[in-house]
Amino acid sequence: MLKGIPRIISPELLKILCEMGHGDTLVIADGNFPAASLSSKLITLSGHGSIAVLEAILELFPLDEAPITQIGVMETADQSKPEIWEAYAKHATELVPIERYAFYEKAKNAYCIIATSESALYANAILTKGVL
């Protein structure tokens, strides 16, 4: 056990967050996302939702701020804005909708994908690591 580390952050995830450099990306995936088939580094946080995972990660992980703080989200088929995006928007200057298949391609190149048990649709997010 360590002080100041959110309990939801597993030792394996902590190691990955430390390894990542400026510009590396990670994906927080909802329960419907094909995380295992797209990732070479998969962390499973079963039983946790996307917002709890995001907030725990952001206690340790600086978001890239160049030129502004952004979180990439998977664009919906009908261009609607899912309610869960409001929670993501509280942590970034801008949410950037990414077309579904382009999102999958970005996820393939992410340093890590974190599979959650989030049941909300379109609750996938891409975070880019910044500097301290």
Three-class DSSP labels, the chain: CCCCCCCCCCHHHHHHHHHCCCCCEEEEECCCCCHHHHCCCEEEECCCCHHHHHHHHHCCCCECCCCCCEEEEECCCCCCCCCHHHHHHCCCCEEEEECHHHHHHHHHCCCEEEEECCCCCCCCEEEEECCC
Catalytic residues: 22
